[in-house]
Structure 1
Amino acid sequence: MIPTRPLRRSALLLVLAALAPASVPAARADDGIPPVSERAKAVQASGLLWDGHNDLPWRLRSEGDMALTKFDLSKRLDSGQTDIPRLREGGVKAQFWSVYIPSEHANPAKTVVEQIDLVHRLVAKYPKDLELALTADDVERIVKGGKIASLIGMEGGIAIEDDLAMLRAFHGLGARYMTLTHNSTLSWADAANDRPKHGGLTPFGERVVREMNRLGMLVDISHVSVATMDDALRVSKAPVIASHSSAFALCPSPRNVPDEILLRVKQNGGVVMVNFYSNFIVADAAKKVKAAREAVLARYADEAAGKKALEAWYRTEGKTLARGTIKDVADHIDHIAKVAGIDHVGIGSDFDGITRWPVGLDDVSCYPRLTDELLRRGYSEDDVHKVLGLNILRVFREAGDVATRLQAEVAPEVDEIKPEPHDD
């Protein structure tokens, strides 16, 4: 376990307390959830809330707003789960914006460049509220200045197109974590929701992890198979993250993290950031999804046809599955804290990327409700601050420290390229 830096943490919390707004909005009157306590409001406002995964960039793309002219994010919107007023209401101080790429996309690298460009333009459009962060020091500086530290997380290693030079290029553009796979197995890593082909990481996949360590890019084990998680933890010299995954022991979805991996994450010094998607926090929902998936795989030999059939199931029967609650999310935090330790759990909501969120956690304004639930369960204020953001701050800083050391010791991973003649 990597120790926290108490003096730095205390200084940050003191500044956050001074910047805290006078109040946090109370609960909505129509959902039956009690108003947020004054204590929770104060704890929320004075802490660092750093969410590990938000899909706003893809929502903007999918709704035709690449130019950032359709939605005014400085105003509270009637659609979606994210805008600046609601981020402020929810007490969000730092956010990993996901630059997601579908696994079957024809031009993955080009699309991710476009999504990274979108995030840069998004931050530039709202300079009073957002600022790009590349380091842990940046996060602390930006938050102390009253803005929301905005970081870029790549979702899906397909974007590098089996090229370590491309990985370095994405890091140069500002990406600070990469989810090794999305839902489909790659040529170098097995995914959680696809048939395994490699038994985890291939030798090239191990090189990807090593180069991410050297760059200071967090290795994200959400979406990957358990074998890939195991391999990534074996290879990585820096703490890893699961940016938006929950506890398998409570909800047996392949997207969640089993206890044996939670113990490895503890040894590694990493953090598992709990996803709010109902199918990842409600056991009955996960079991029904598993049964449907197995039935589809048994019925269709063709993978593409099987995926279409499963998508059709999600659009019909999938909509009837039970929704989670704030208590379900807190249960997953409890479990990860019990198995891995309080220093190894965080928040990765997946807002604007999920279709079925917990009752009462409707959007980014609702985090104080979760803070209230943790305090009711007996969490100390210090431990709540760890869960909300200090754990991922520690991990990000340690990954940067590892990168500084490796860059002095290890050359970049480079593939030999056959010389090509130059035409005059």
Structure 2
Amino acid sequence: MADLLDRARALLAEHPVADGHNDLPWALREQVAYDIDRRDIAVDQSARLHTDIPRLRAGGVGAQFWSVYVSTELAGDAAVSACLEQIDVVRQLVDRYPGDLRLATTADEVAAARAAGRIASLMGAEGGHSIANSLATLRALHRLGVRYMTLTHNDNTDWADSATDEPRHGGLTAFGEEVVREMNRVGMLVDLSHVAPATMRDALRVTEAPVVFSHSSARAVCDHPRNIPDDVLEMLPANGGVAMATFVPKFVLPAAVAWTAEADAYLNARGLDALDASDEAVRVRRAFEEANPRPQATAATVADHLDHMREVAGIDHIGIGGDFDGTPFTPADLADVAGYPHLVAELLNRRWSEEDLARLLWRNALRALRDAGEVARDVAARRGPSVATIEQLDGPGKFGSD
């Protein structure tokens, strides 16, 4: 395996990872209230975080979509403000570490950052509640550099059904379809992780641009609602989209699904949220895990998903979205952002070619970003900004606050 790891690292030097999802900004909010002096990511932060610059370098990361996530406990103006704070901390990190990070908003800027030896830093808004039902807010986020938006998080929005909430709309509402069209017009990728299968299918019907799944794996391999059904994977070639496999154990390993539910219930009983990144939550999780050893996912577990996704969607339509710092548990040999060589080594062992790995790791994500920009130029030439409101399209009383 040592020889395979050496080959993996050499390959990553030529074809680095363009990862679809990392929640470092939210971890910085939860742990240190954005006081980044207390979490200097220029040095090892492995005691507290999955992510720092030395480990990004060791893992062969060339581009990272930083999630500017907002909890669904926040709504309306509070959600918008929190999203702006997330954007601000990403920009602070880029300004603080200019020798390692460079802000990027286009495929050309990603390529230029890589050529300059920097890690291209993009942003994706996780959860459509971040726009507070306002297309003008959507456009403002795009102007600030956000290049994808996940239509929902764990709860429904007023215009789209989530994978992990009770269905309310049957997919996208009329306003939800207008959100997708406006995302196409400005050049913001439609991210279908977290959404219900009906929402996935509606978005694929409406969109003119490629979609992404920034951090979702194959439902046929692990039957979790956060994963992608095969019929949706089969739609990606016609759309040009990219499904980015995630590493979250409860999404990739069937045995981990029930264990994680028990761990989450243990936290909830002590007044802690399952996504809580505070020191207290870390302590409580460790205590639970010591008493209840967890099933271990590995790079091989993730590779099983990628094998299946390649078979169903094709090599041009898959990528990587680890979800580091957005999950308390990680696979044994993908513990943090330094772990990508282990996955590449596993895929090399399964006879994946260098060309296939180049597409998986780097090329597919950049192609989707580039294609979305081209679609945006075409759509913007045909129509101006939408002034539609949810009241106009969905009618009063047909939506409610989440």
TM more than 0.5: yes
Please tell me whether residue 224 in structure 1 is matched to residue 162 in structure 2. no
Task: Give the C-alpha shift of residue 309 in structure 1.
Answer: 10
Please tell me whether residue 202 in structure 1 is matched to residue 173 in structure 2. yes
Against the structure 1 CA distance between its residues 287 and 76, is the aligned structure 2 distance closer, same or farther, given a 3 Å change threshold? closer
Q: Comparing both chains, which one has the higher relative contact order based on Cα–Cα distances under 8 Å and sequence gaps of 6 or more?
A: 2
Q: Could you say what secondary structure the match of 1:414 adopts?
A: coil
Provide, for residues 45-98 of structure 1, a one-character-per-residue CA deviation record: whole Å limited to 9, x for no partner: 111310000000011110114132111111122321110111111110000000
Against the structure 1 CA distance between its residues 329 and 164, is the aligned structure 2 distance closer, same or farther, given a 3 Å change threshold? same
The residue that corresponds to 2:242 in the other structure is 271
Please tell me whether residue 155 in structure 1 is matched to residue 134 in structure 2. no
Please tell me whether residue 324 in structure 1 is matched to residue 293 in structure 2. no
**Contact 1:65 1:71 (8 Å CA) reproduced:** no
The residue that corresponds to 1:54 in the other structure is 22
Please tell me whether residue 180 in structure 1 is matched to residue 151 in structure 2. yes
Q: Could you say what secondary structure the match of 1:120 adopts?
A: helix
The residue that corresponds to 1:144 in the other structure is 115
Task: Give the C-alpha shift of residue 264 in structure 1.
Answer: 1.1
**Contact 1:51 1:95 (8 Å CA) reproduced:** yes
What percent identity do the matched residue pairs reach?
50
Query: Could you tell me which amino acid in structure 1 is paired with residue 51 of structure 2?
Result: T
- After TM superposition, the structure 1 = structure 2 runs for residues 186-265 of structure 1, keeping only pairs within 5 Å, are 186-265=157-236
Supply the distance in 2 between the matched residues of 1:398 and 1:417 (Cα, whole angstroms). 28
Supply the distance in 2 between the matched residues of 1:368 and 1:321 (Cα, whole angstroms). 24
The residue that corresponds to 1:124 in the other structure is 95
Q: Could you say what secondary structure the match of 2:323 adopts?
A: coil
Task: Give the C-alpha shift of residue 288 in structure 1.
Answer: 6.1
User: 1:97 pairs with 58, 66, 77, which one?
Assistant: 66
**Contact 2:134 2:389 (8 Å CA) reproduced:** no
Q: Could you say what secondary structure the match of 2:65 adopts?
A: strand
Task: Give the C-alpha shift of residue 285 in structure 1.
Answer: 2.4
Provide, for residues 156-209 of structure 1, a one-character-per-residue CA deviation record: whole Å limited to 9, x for no partner: 000100010000010011100000000001110000111010000000000000
Against the structure 1 CA distance between its residues 180 and 320, is the aligned structure 2 distance closer, same or farther, given a 3 Å change threshold? farther
Please tell me whether residue 281 in structure 1 is matched to residue 252 in structure 2. yes
Task: Give the C-alpha shift of residue 38 in structure 1.
Answer: 2.7
Task: Give the C-alpha shift of residue 39 in structure 1.
Answer: 2.0
Supply the distance in 2 between the matched residues of 1:288 and 1:41 (Cα, whole angstroms). 33
The residue that corresponds to 2:51 in the other structure is 82
Provide, for residues 361-381 of structure 1, a one-character-per-residue CA deviation record: whole Å limited to 9, x for no partner: 111111111111111111110
Q: Could you say what secondary structure the match of 1:327 adopts?
A: helix
Structure 1, 58-67 or 172-181: larger mean CA deviation = 58-67
Please tell me whether residue 39 in structure 1 is matched to residue 7 in structure 2. yes
Task: Give the C-alpha shift of residue 36 in structure 1.
Answer: 4.6
**Contact 1:48 1:390 (8 Å CA) reproduced:** no
Query: Could you tell me which amino acid in structure 2 is paired with residue 240 of structure 1?
Result: V
Supply the distance in 2 between the matched residues of 1:399 and 1:60 (Cα, whole angstroms). 30
**Contact 2:4 2:348 (8 Å CA) reproduced:** no
Q: Could you say what secondary structure the match of 2:32 adopts?
A: coil
Provide, for residues 114-167 of structure 1, a one-character-per-residue CA deviation record: whole Å limited to 9, x for no partner: 110111111000001101001111001110111000000100000100010000
Supply the distance in 2 between the matched residues of 1:278 and 1:207 (Cα, whole angstroms). 34
- After TM superposition, the structure 1 = structure 2 runs for residues 11-30 of structure 1, keeping only pairs within 5 Å, are none
Provide, for residues 8-46 of structure 1, a one-character-per-residue CA deviation record: whole Å limited to 9, x for no partner: xxxxxxxxxxxxxxxxxxxxxxxxx75653322211111
Structure 1, 60-69 or 128-137: larger mean CA deviation = 60-69
Q: Could you say what secondary structure the match of 2:222 adopts?
A: coil
TM-score, length-scaled by structure 2 = 0.88
Q: Could you say what secondary structure the match of 2:18 adopts?
A: strand
Q: Could you say what secondary structure the match of 1:50 adopts?
A: strand
Q: Could you say what secondary structure the match of 2:66 adopts?
A: strand
Query: Could you tell me which amino acid in structure 1 is paired with residue 92 of structure 2?
Result: R
Q: Could you say what secondary structure the match of 2:63 adopts?
A: strand
User: 1:336 pairs with 309, 324, 330, which one?
Assistant: 309
The residue that corresponds to 2:384 in the other structure is 411
Task: Give the C-alpha shift of residue 391 in structure 1.
Answer: 0.5
Q: Could you say what secondary structure the match of 1:178 adopts?
A: strand
**Contact 2:175 2:389 (8 Å CA) reproduced:** no
Q: Could you say what secondary structure the match of 1:322 adopts?
A: coil
Against the structure 1 CA distance between its residues 320 and 125, is the aligned structure 2 distance closer, same or farther, given a 3 Å change threshold? same
**Contact 1:81 1:363 (8 Å CA) reproduced:** yes
Against the structure 1 CA distance between its residues 210 and 156, is the aligned structure 2 distance closer, same or farther, given a 3 Å change threshold? same
Query: Could you tell me which amino acid in structure 2 is paired with residue 409 of structure 1?
Result: R
- After TM superposition, the structure 1 = structure 2 runs for residues 346-385 of structure 1, keeping only pairs within 5 Å, are 346-385=319-358
Report the RMSD for the aligned CA atoms in angstroms.
Answer: 2.5
Q: Could you say what secondary structure the match of 1:76 adopts?
A: coil
Whichever of the two has the greater Rg, that structure is 1
Against the structure 1 CA distance between its residues 53 and 130, is the aligned structure 2 distance closer, same or farther, given a 3 Å change threshold? same
Query: Could you tell me which amino acid in structure 2 is paired with residue 236 of structure 1?
Result: T
The residue that corresponds to 1:67 in the other structure is 35
